[in-house]
Structure 1
């Protein structure tokens, strides 16, 4: 079992910058999210079974980016320890006071060593679950947040960071067959499912997708029917299908700003401490889709930019100065 230095419980929410809040609201309403709270420039959404204020924040902005990825920790002591940890790592963590993000207690926000804006919090306002309020379910009735997937600019060091330093546990991975063998993707968990965080080797820092858990395969197919009936079929990028990795039944969508959302169900329990990670060969097409059909090029190449907390603009590693800032993070 991996050492657990900070008692991180699970992935908790994401904040997405969107360019037209009403257009985004209509899209996420079709997926069945519940609106917990709204302001003139923000929507706070949750799945039907969630008992906390939000698992997705949509914020009006000029440019679509991922503003932060958030993990819940067990206590405020963990926040203090994380602050010291990131300072020693040469990062610049800052405190967000209770209420600065609606419904949330005191939190720590930091650009991590690989350029990702990451937040940690311990407390969030409790709200009513719609779990058994079936008469209030709409669209696909998204249940809860499940995971983040990221393109990592320095995969090997990022893998070491999240496993050895942050205490995440490896469940499945993709590796080359030739020697020396090289890992190109990894699925890491804190909660007892396949992953809270997946990482893939690629240009970054970018967020590939945010995954949300669905009740069953039928609910995912229902989303396809809803989008097709509304003539919004172009939002369907990939699937429905079944992954080899994780065994999950999936559907990938692109929201109106291009942010990728995965609807996900039917993976497996990972609570046993002696569970061995599953290896997939990088030449095995079933790792992508157990049924073997081709993954579209956009899925491999496109992802959401992340917010540079220092400048308030997208973290563009190709822009002037961007490459040097990235070097600062991953040194």
Structure 2
């Protein structure tokens, strides 16, 4: 799969590891919960779902402190948090990838170690690399050499770091790279979303597609994601849940199926109203051109042989007579037929 320039954004519903809490809420096993979330994301209009593939011991030291909002997620260390959600392996992801095919949606999962990058290769068409691995150049190079398209998140990074990561990909011969604007703060305050960075990345890296990975709380009209699309994001990714009220992890800043449907509807409406680039009258305006424009109209009745002067005419609808734009062409002419007050002036009468 190539990442391509299209009019509609590629929408990724990031399930991440939220299915663990959904399983508890619905009293079903975690695999069934993940499948349920896939189905709901597909029905709501996502192009892809994305999970996170890691083992806590390969991802974080046991002393790694929390960096999220502790009032929303009380877990005190990264290692402790990740240990709660690292039970899936190759067999589970294979089953989820198969289920995605039955639902008509693309399976993705972010690998966080070399082993998962290897076994996910056959299950998905592209790789997503987390902002946390932007400076992990050996890992980026390893994935890039696999030759699949890459979504590279850029949260908490400098332009220099992004450039170095992008060059690491390009040096492998892999040209399929999308840079994802992202703010590495959970949740991201609206004033910190900085969607203008999408335009900046596009200006600095014109040879790459630009996307957006969102961590703000869903707003009522999904304006944040919609604006990201309008600012040029070709890939839109946001955490996904079935219950935004669930405590902990990624539910509190995730979109639910209704939010996703609203965003998709926004995009569909924008597609309809954007229309053509070249300015010309549309077919739907054909009758309006005739009826809503003005014509040169007799202000007074005139007899054959009179000279048409400015004082004798005005401009009224409909526009089926002589256009006011041609006024200079008719003034000074001799009337060839009687004209009544309020008649449209026509060429066969002057």
> TM-score if structure 1 supplies the norm length?
0.29
Higher helix content, 1 or 2:
2
> TM-score if structure 2 supplies the norm length?
0.27
Q: Which has the higher contact order (CA 8 A, sep 6+)?
A: 1
Larger radius of gyration: 2
Higher strand content, 1 or 2:
1
